[in-house]
């Protein structure tokens, strides 16, 4: 089947309909990528306050098929969900070039197509079955399930081409010892330590970590139910400029120590009675004064900043002294 030399994608923008914040989104994508885009737009968890624009942030409008889909993508009466667009893109990506042309011609014959109509039409051209797609009864919100993995680790034999097409086997983390053992046996080795990581997909950036590190992190995130607080967790990691695994694991259990909102003015009003009357530069100065930072994922402030900072410094000094005594 000729599906083209490169995979087909929908290149769109996701917009928070209340805050008008926008981020790029490309379909099909992983659930991790959905949550990342929602967090970048400051869309609260469980909210349906988003819509799509039929072009990426740099103005790219896709190929002729994507352009034909524009009215359905930007339909205000029946705005498509992220799940619907992901499912549609999965189908189209597996259609031949000829069938994509036929789909485009069918779409152009009508002006009242919704994404649901397009999905039905595209599916009629496809011989594939996507049984994992379920139209959520609760609406358009993207929700976290307790059994969702926080990272997907792709393992290959040591010495394999890490940049090739062979992904080996995928391990969903957190993974039990039994799951790790089964993954190792599936690749004909005794332990996952004999395997290499070809790539990792996850809820947060995870460069250069071992499988043990990733599994520890994932287990902690699951234990503290971070799936429903990913926006805040990502914001806190940025607030603390966190690049250390141990700190990232520790912060997962300390989110209550941080205030988090999608409205800078709202947080400023809590600390300065005239914040709403200030010019932008004055607001930024006030935010700095009260250690309020507008991160990529939302507005954050550490509660009792100075007191907690002093306490942390004392703890670090005690830890350092303890290490020196051990040496």
Pairing relationship of beta strands 151-157 and 169-173 according to DSSP bridges:
antiparallel
- In a domain, residue 23? The reply is yes
Q: Do 216 and 242 lie in a common domain?
A: no
What is the total count of domains within the chain?
A: 3
Structural domain including 275 reads 224-327
Question: Do 207 and 120 fall into the same domain?
Answer: no
In a domain, 82, yes or no: yes
Residue 65 has pLDDT above 90, yes or no: yes
Question: Which pLDDT value is given to residue 278?
Answer: 79
Write down the pLDDT at residue 5.
66
What is this structure's pTM? 0.85
On the 0-12 / 13-18 / 19+ scale of CB atoms within 10 A, 158 is: exposed
How far is 250 from 231, CA to CA, in rounded Å? 17
CA gap 69, 104 in Å, rounded: 8
Q: In terms of domains, do 231 and 294 share one?
A: yes
The C-alpha angle 27, 28, 30, rounded to 5 degrees, equals 110
pLDDT attached to residue 69: 97
Which residue, of 186, 202, 221, is where some domain finishes? 221
Kindly state whether residue 2 falls inside one of the protein's structural domains.
Answer: no
pLDDT tens for residues 100-136? Answer: 999 999 999 988 889 999 999 999 998 766 554 544 4
Question: Would 287 be classed as within a structural domain?
Answer: yes
Query: Could you say which of 206, 221, 236 is where a domain stops?
Result: 221
Residue 13, pLDDT > 50, answer yes
Average pLDDT in the 40-64 region? 96
Residue that finishes a domain, picked among 171, 198, 221: 221
**Statement to judge: residues 307 and 212 lie in one domain:** no
């Amino acid at each position: 089947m000729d599906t083209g030399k490169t995979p087909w994608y929908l290149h769109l923008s996701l917009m928070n309909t209340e805050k008008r914040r926008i981020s790029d989104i490309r379909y099909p994508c992983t659930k991790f990528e959905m949550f990342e885009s929602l967090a970048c737009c400051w869309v609260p968890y469980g909210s349906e306050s988003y819509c799509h624009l039929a072009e990426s942030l740099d103005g790219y409008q896709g190929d002729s098929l994507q352009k034909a889909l524009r009215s359905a993508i930007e339909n205000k009466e029946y705005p498509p969900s992220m799940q619907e667009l992901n499912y549609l893109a999965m189908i189209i990506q597996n259609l031949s070039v000829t069938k994509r042309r036929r789909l485009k011609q069918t779409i152009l014959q009508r002006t009242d197509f919704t994404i649901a109509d397009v999905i039905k039409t595209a599916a009629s051209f496809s011989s594939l079955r996507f049984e994992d797609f379920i139209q959520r009864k609760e609406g358009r919100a993207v929700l976290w399930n307790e059994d969702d993995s926080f990272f997907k680790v792709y393992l290959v034999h040591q010495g394999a081409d890490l940049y090739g097409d062979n992904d080996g086997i995928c391990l969903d983390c957190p993974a039990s010892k039994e799951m790790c053992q089964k993954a190792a046996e599936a690749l004909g080795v005794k332990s996952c330590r004999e395997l290499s990581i070809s790539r990792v997909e996850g809820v947060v950036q995870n460069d250069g970590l071992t499988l043990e590190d990733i599994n520890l992190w994932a287990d902690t995130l699951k234990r503290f139910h971070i799936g429903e607080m990913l926006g805040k967790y990502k914001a806190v990691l940025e607030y603390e400029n966190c690049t250390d695994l141990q700190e990232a694991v520790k912060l997962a259990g300390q989110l209550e120590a941080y205030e988090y909102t999608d409205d800078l003015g709202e947080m400023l009003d809590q600390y300065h009675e005239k914040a709403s009357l200030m010019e932008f530069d004055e607001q930024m100065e006030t935010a700095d004064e009260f250690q309020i930072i507008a991160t990529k994922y939302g507005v954050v402030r550490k509660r009792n900043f100075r007191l907690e900072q002093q306490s942390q410094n004392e703890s670090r000094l005690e830890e350092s002294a303890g290490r020196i005594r051990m040496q």
